[in-house]
Amino acid sequence: MAMTMARVRSSSLDDPFAAHMAPPAGETPEERTLRIAAAQNAEKTSRQIDEVLLQSKKMQDKKRLDVKILLLGQSESGKSTVLKNFRLRFTPQYFDTERAAWKTVVLLNLISSIRVIVHAIESELAAPEFTLVSDVHRQRCAELQPLLREEGVINKLISPFHSAPGDVYVRPGGEWKTLLATSPAAQNTAAVVAGMRDELEALWADAAVRELLEKKDVSLRDAGGYFMDDIARVTDPAYVPTDSDILRARIKTMGVEEHFFEKEEGPVTRGVKVKDFWIYDVPGSRGSRAVWIPFFDMVEAIVFLTPLSFYEVLEEDSRVNRLEDSVVLWKEICANPLLQHCQIILFFNKMDILKAKLKAGLIVKEYVPSFGDRPNTYAGATTYFKEKFRAYHKRTSPTPRSFFYYETTAVDTRSTAKIIGAVHEEIFRKHLETSILI
């Protein structure tokens, strides 16, 4: 018997875990109850952590199998608007749950336009000689200051960055939308804007203001978030943003946006059902393009956006033509060996702006000498640039692949929905073919 007890004691001393779990000497019944409860809670917590890790692993495993799409293009090319179109096409409930947040964004865009007008007036008033504006306009600018201050209030609420007036930068994710939908500050901004509706309409109806903007070559209509022609509608206290309003509303995101789409019904091919996909929206400014590279070996399709803005320069570098920058990016993307098996889909975006420019008398060959004597029409311009991009695609791609091209006006929900549907079907068809071959 003594020998048996010795063996047990020796075994316990050799096992650190057993020694750790052994009851302390002189433990009271109350202490024992507390110790057992603590051990049970620790075990429960451990199981919960294991479950979270398991679910995370399942999500990562599933994510590896899902289709992944990358939106590329320079800043202001319309990537965020195309992303909203994907949301509208495949997850329409998304818009319904976030309209309150987008209402505040629309009002911010309106205030931003007013700020541009006020700045133009104040700049003209500061000139040695001014004829287009008067002390009446000076008084209007003073009356609008409470409205302009609201821009700073909302900016501070949702933006952790030191943004300049008119440029609101938010973090990726939906936290800022929750703030805009629930914050008393956002509700107060809506009330201030509604209370100044008459002043805003009078300012925008002023012929001298319109002439001043034309003189300074300020075109509010060409900018994102244009709502000056909708003042009465968007300042109504009962205003609810339409789908088109949400697509037009503009807010900048710092960093990479990752969006998961779970379709209610997906295409079925040979018994393989595909319903989920991811879209990554990455920054387009020249200083942010290094963040694109890690996504190249994981995505199956790239939607590359470029407006035919051959008459403009980059916002961040006035020495660089916008279209020339897009061409350089296009050639680099097509030639990248990491993307040789990736579908690359070209969107000529913001085509409504090009149509308006051509109708107003824009001469293509004055900006693009190689355009020559081709017809200075919408069809002539789009055909010329399409063939240029097609030639670079064919010449620089490491392996032969199909050329996919669409002309889009991303704020036109009806036409863009059809294009988004066609793009989605083509991407998934290719994904299914590859999956079956594997």
Q: Which residues are annotated as a binding site for Mg(2+)?
A: 80, 253
Distance CA 107, CA 328 (A): 36
Burial 350-368 (b: 16+ CB within 10 A, else e): bbebbeebbeeeeebeeeb
Show binding-site residues for GTP.
76-81, 247-253, 349-352, 410
User: Taking phi first (over 0 means left), then psi (-120 to 50 degrees means alpha), and beta for anything else, what does residue 275 get?
Assistant: alpha
Show binding-site residues.
76-81, 247-253, 349-352, 410
